[in-house]
Amino acid sequence: MILEVWSSAKLHHNEEELHTQALYPWRSQGHGLVRMKRDWIIPPIRVLENSKQVPEDLVQIKSDKIFTGEVIYKLEGPGVDQEPKNLFEIDDKTGVIRSKRPLDREKYSSFTLKAFALSPSGERLENPTTIEIMVLDQNDNRPAFTQSQFVGTVSEFSVPGTSVMSVSATDADDPMTENAALSYSIIGQESIPANTVTKTMFGINNQTGAIYTRDVGLDREVVKGFRLKLQVADMGGMGLTSEGVAIIHVSDINNHAPQFSPPLYSMTAVENRQEYEIGRVNVTDRDDRGTGNWEAKYSITNDPEGNFAITTDPSTNQGVLTVVKPLDYEAQSEYVLILTVENVNTLSNKAPNLPVSTATVLVTVVNENEAPRFREDPIQIVVPESVVPGTLLKSNIAFDPDNSDLRYEISRDPERWLDIDRDTGDIMARRTFNMRSPHVKNHIYTAVVKVTDAGGVSTTATAAITLKETNDFPPQLFPLSGSVCRDTGRMNSGLVVTAVDEDFPPHAAPFIFEMPDYLSVNWTVVQVNDTHALLQPLVELEAGEYAVTVLVSDSGSPVLSAFTQVNITVCLCDSFGDCKSEAGAIIGSSVGISFIALIIIMASIALLLLLLLLAVAVTACGRRHHIKKGTGLLVGESEDDIRDNVLNYDEQGGGEEDENAFNIDMLWNPHDAPPAPGSYYPGSGVPRGKQPLRKDAPHNLPSPIYPRRPPADPTDIEDYINDGLEAADNDPNVPPYDTALIYDYEGEGSLAGSLSSIASGSSDGDQDYDYLNDWGPRFQKLANMYDPR
């Protein structure tokens, strides 16, 4: 259709300079404006898409200036000189606008163009005209589903009308036309597995695409799902069509309870074992495998002691029965267990109303040789440390569950203090205990007892022996010597003494220091505190040595006491309370002597020492003699006394230090009648007629019994030696350590001759001394003395 547009206007011309552009001269107005009184209104031009009549004239425009001169028409806008270009053109002479190519509404639904009327010089003759071109839609696009396959789920036994899922499609045509009006339909149904359901089970809303159930009978045990063939069409179902697929799965509900199969089982369990499987039970369930509707949950209804447990194997759904506590064949040899089963998920109300499935399991306990058992571990024993050997400490310590004979032994006893009856297990004291043993920790001595049954199965237990402290040792006083100032004016002058006790509390301190009346002449003892006392003279004493006997007692039960002699030196003291030397005492005495007298005394002492040295020298020379032939090896005189070559390196015997180290004490009841005057051992204060005792040994105890002959069994030699040593150490009647100790009496009538008769029955001429040359360098001098040459 060609539309002619005419515009008339009364123009007022002003002489102005014309302004043009090289490329688009019509886009710029000149200084002379054309004012139109009236414009033509051009309605939108409608063009059908996909038209095959191209080029196609669409409209013709004419300017009212055509009657006054030549007019040139120009067109611009999208589709002309803007993208998409070259869709439209205008005849610059006639003003006819035409399409050059077919149009596609799905790409460009409309175009807005501007038309210009220009003079040959490029002057714009009037205002540009707007031209709207509308592209009319054709049904040239099929509808398409948004997914290649739709998937949905519906529960089994769903009622008709249950919503399942929705499908959707799109159409590229104009949605305001029937070309995009879509309609949905189901054109095919196939069950999974095939042919299990033939009736139509689903419907679809043709406008919304919602799929729903139409009929009953969705049983997952019968059909697993459906495959629906869908169709969508435009033009309200009368136009172009497309097809799609929807897969609908039938989901399981718990409509089947698990059932035991079979309901009766027999199993065996070994006693004294735990945490192990003894058997399995089976169930069947028609619900979907691997879901909570299928998974079984087991329980035991009659196991009050909790000896058994049952769990579910997730892969097989079997019930796994285990023993969680050790069983005792002797106590119970059989168990009858009742099992029940249910699903993890709650049973649906659509399930058949059946009772809960149960199963019976008979468990037979198998007997085995059990290890003996101690009645307690550790075995607790409390005993005084001074227990009498042979005392029964513990009995009935173990038993055997199988009632077999047991054999007992002590497998660890570092001090060998214990004995055990191999048949009864009675534990006895082999010897007295010693709290000071390094194996006693916190008053507890530990040993190990082993018991074995007739089958060779054994077990051990610890014997924890708690030792109770007993009063075994009397307190010992020290120091055993000291000095006291003679000055009567010095306050609190005396010797501080204390005591130590090898026993532990409460058998040690506090100590009581006493001095019996018959021993307290000129001296007294003052208790300072629980552990110390002060020895003081009652009168002013002359300087010298004094032996004071003190009785000290402990607080044990029974009380043990000991007399101890303390050697006290009474001396003159300086201002610091220390004893002065003899010279200082003499010089500092109040009596005083002259300097000449002191020189005479010192000279006399020096003369006496010189005479003493001369006497010793003369005596030594007189003892030299010669060895004569015929007088024997050890008889006669010699020019050089052999003893001159003997060097004395040390004195190992007794002396003052020995006397101090092994000070002789005497134990007797302080309440007895005092001894007669002069009946004391010299310098000791100990009465005569009493047995002198070692200070380092316990008092008031009888002498132990020494072993008389070695045992026949060589394995007991160690015990024999240890018993003899312990008896000697604890014997209060033996001499001090540096005295010969008699272990046993050898008897009379020895066949050996007397040592005093060596070489006395023969002359020197009958003897050959050449063998002395073979005895080495140490005997060379002796060999030279008897060399006949």
Q: Is 689 left (phi over 0), alpha (psi -120 to 50) or beta?
A: left
Distance CA 92, CA 771 (A): 166
556, 568 contact by CB (below 8 A): no
* The pLDDT of residue 782: 81
Where does 373-468 sit in CATH, by number?
Answer: 2.60.40.60
The SS3 call for residue 130 is strand
Task: Tell which residue, 310, 262, 309, 312, has the closest CA to residue 292.
Answer: 312
Alpha carbon separation from 52 to 47, 78, 91, 132, 762 (Å, rounded): 12, 21, 21, 21, 172
Q: Match 């009368």 to its residue by tokens.
A: 238
Write out the two tokens for 79. Answer: 């589709």
* The pLDDT of residue 418: 93
Given the candidates 2.102.10.10, 3.40.630.30, 3.30.70.120, 2.60.40.60, the CATH classification of the domain at 259-366 is: 2.60.40.60
Task: Tell which residue, 397, 463, 391, 395, has the closest CA to residue 428.
Answer: 391
Single pTM value for the model: 0.42
Write out the two tokens for 386. Answer: 């001074």
Q: Regarding the domain delimited by 144-251, which CATH topology (the fold level of the hierarchy) does it fall under?
A: Immunoglobulin-like (2.60.40)
Write out the two tokens for 526. Answer: 């003052």
How many other C-beta atoms are found inside a 10 Å radius of the C-beta of residue 785?
A: 15
Identical fold, 45-136 and 259-366: yes
Its CATH architecture, for the domain 476-571, is Sandwich (2.60)
Distance CA 633, CA 650 (A): 28
Q: SS3 string of 431-493?
A: CCCCCCCCCEECCEEEEEEEEEECCCCEEEEEEEEEEECCCCCCCEEECCEEEEECCCCCCCC
Per-10-residue mean pLDDT for the chain, 789 residues long? Answer: 35 30 35 40 80 83 75 88 88 86 86 88 84 87 94 93 95 88 94 91 94 92 94 92 95 92 94 91 92 94 94 95 92 94 90 91 90 90 88 91 87 93 92 88 92 89 88 85 74 81 81 81 86 86 86 85 88 76 47 63 88 82 46 40 41 41 39 44 43 48 62 65 77 58 49 46 58 76 72
Q: Match 């032996």 to its residue by tokens.
A: 547
| Angle (CA) 539 543 548, round 5° | 60
Query: Which amino acid is it at 449?
Result: V
Where does 45-136 sit in CATH, by number?
Answer: 2.60.40.60
Domain range list for the chain: 45-136, 144-251, 259-366, 373-468, 476-571
The SS3 call for residue 626 is strand
